[in-house]
Amino acid sequence: MNLSRDETRNLIKEVVDKLKKEPFRDEFTNNENGEVFDSAAEIIKTTDKIIKSYIRVSRDNGSIERIPAYRVQHNNISGFYKGGIRFSSAVNEEEVENLAILMTIKNALHELPFGGAKGGVFVDPRNLSLRELNLVSKKYVQRLKPDLGPTKDIPAPDLGTNENVIDWMVGEYKTITPGESYVNSFTGKSGVNGGVAGRREATGIGTFLSYYYLRDQWFKHAETSKVTRPKSWKNLEKLIRSDQPTKVAVQGFGNVGSIAAHEAVKCKDEHIVTAVSDEDVTLHNEKGLDIERLLVYSEQHRRLPRSEGELKAANVQADIDSPSAVLTSECDLLILAAVESQITEENMKDVSAKVLLEGANAPITKTADEYFENNGIVVIPDILANAGGVHVSYLEWMQSNIPKPYTKEEVIAELTDKMTDVSHRVYDHYFYSENHETTRMLCYKLALMRLITLLYRHGKLY
């Protein structure tokens, strides 16, 4: 659901108003006039701190450029501020603040000991030389240093940044804070710099896991007599009990989509990936694409093959179509791992999938979200599905306190345990609840229940 900052705030108020009528803790039962909830809504809607600065960068052509940079610290009732830093020409203050609010809610849903924050620099990293990118990264830390740190605000990579950028930022933080702890000042670092194994794959694995747990574990043990959503249940049952492999389409073949596609084909006969796309092309094969070979090609070229010659060079058999064709291709599971606002009122009725899985942030608009709910099509929302990265960031943050680093197997096992715990809680509420709300609305309710309880326990609501 593609929301602006004000729309997110309105949604928070809407959810809190619903919670007023559904007291979830005994200690709130005497709150007849709802003052606790009204106070909580105002606190959660209000951002703690917005930092805006300008980074002066000497360009390779000799010019000096002033680049806007932001860090928004929304709320830390759950723990230290936590959230990524993005380098993008779409960055603005409202977007960064909205993403910080969403990080607070996501961390609360997953019961992680972090609050919500987000950072951004108004720059397209593709237009910077390596020297310029290094300079922007270090200058960001210099300008924001008073508000960052392992017990204050812990950034991570996001759109347009990666472990190289984070390593530069850690190095600069270490330089300007001599004698202070720096290892946990950032997460998403390279392995040699204190990063955790499996961080790169975490979001893609977690995304697919939130779906696979539903069909492979939760459905098999569900209490059918308690199910209150017959349309959604019937569609899910038809999908799971079919003697044909589940057809998967994946929009976006970057870090999240490619890993999710790989996880799907690892299920062997249960799933085949029939379509994948990037910003240039959709590749389709009704019998299933060779994901392993596409991964190799994508790793080498940073994109999918987009001509018959390139397909031949990659030794991949596929039909070529427009990038948007993946959204309406015939499939059972559609994984949305590209950008926001992909399924809208214009194309929602052309979607054939029975389950939609959000690996990207906000790929389904509000109207489409409600349409799918009314038609029994299960949407697994971003706030639930794409939290694998922040789960593993927590392990990286904890890693400095143990004698030896986590192995990749330990990281994936811990990620699996955490994601299945949260997914189980969400699916129980969704399929057994008498309140027929979208999965997204339900996730917001669970997250806000936790935030309100913490605010109350901390004495902030009196």
Positions marked catalytic: 118
| 340: its two tokens | 């926001």
Amino acid residing at 158: D
Phi, psi (rounded to 5 degrees) for 22 = -130, 70
Residue that has been written with the tokens 């270090």 in this structure: 138
The whole-angstrom separation of Cα 280 and Cα 325 is: 11
Cβ burial of 320 (10 Å; 0-12, 13-18, 19+) is middle
The whole-angstrom separation of Cα 26 and Cα 13 is: 22
**157 in Cβ contact with 165 (< 8 Å):** yes
**246 in Cβ contact with 355 (< 8 Å):** no
Residues across the chain: 462
* Beta-ladder partners of 81: 153
Contacts of 407 (CB under 8 A, 6+ apart): 197
Contacts 24+ apart (CB under 8 A), 215-222: 215/239, 215/240, 217/420, 217/424, 218/423, 218/424, 218/427, 218/428, 222/431
Residue that has been written with the tokens 């069909």 in this structure: 215
Q: Report the b/e string of 277-296 with b at 16+ CB within 10 A.
A: bbeebbbbbeeebbbeebbe
* Beta-ladder partners of 60: none
